[in-house]
Amino acid sequence: MTETAILGGGCFWCLEAAYDELKGVALVRSGYAGGHVPTPTYKQVCTGETGHAEVVEVTFDPTVISYSDLLKVFFTIHDPTQLNRQGADVGTQYRSVIFHASPAQRAAAEAAIADFTPVWGKIVTQLAPLEAFYPAEKEHEDYFARNPWSGYCQVVIAPKIAKLRNMFRNRLKDRA
């Protein structure tokens, strides 16, 4: 049986690429959550006026990788101290946020924040109940895998993937 995590840590392309590498992760979809506009488009979300954050929906097998382990990756590959931004990506749509689907997920998120506060200092990651997840348009799926040599992928995503591969080596899927 699988579970789902909804996480926002800046651009969804970064998180999607990272979580796709982990054992126990069956599917990662980029999308939007946390706003007031039903079925938003990327163009609408980029305005910052929908209230949505760019997020990923991570479907995982908790017997292989736990929700807490997914959160360890989350707090390692993005900067949870930046309010409404990640690097040059600025706006509420790039906020650090964990949408919890159960009291257990909320408790795990609170514990992860407590664990990582000594590492990061003041963490601004929001915790919010999941109301709805809206998948992003097709062109955002597997963006890093399809565009590894684009400037954004090389400068922003590739270093995060390198950090993931170094720090979570034992959690990576076998590459054929």
Active site residues: 11
Q: CA 166, CA 151: separation in Å to the nearest integer? A: 22
Q: How far is CA 66 from CA 25, 69, 121, in A?
A: 10, 5, 25
The phi-psi region of residue 171 (left if phi > 0; otherwise alpha if psi is between -120 and 50; otherwise beta) is: alpha
The answer to whether 12 and 31 are in contact (CB under 8 A) is: yes
The phi-psi region of residue 62 (left if phi > 0; otherwise alpha if psi is between -120 and 50; otherwise beta) is: alpha
DSSP annotation of 156 reads I
3-state helix, strand, coil in the chain (%, to 5): 40, 25, 35
What pairing do the DSSP bridges indicate for beta strands 126-129 and 96-100? parallel
CB pairs under 8 A, 24+ apart, for 107-110? 108/67, 108/68, 108/71, 109/71
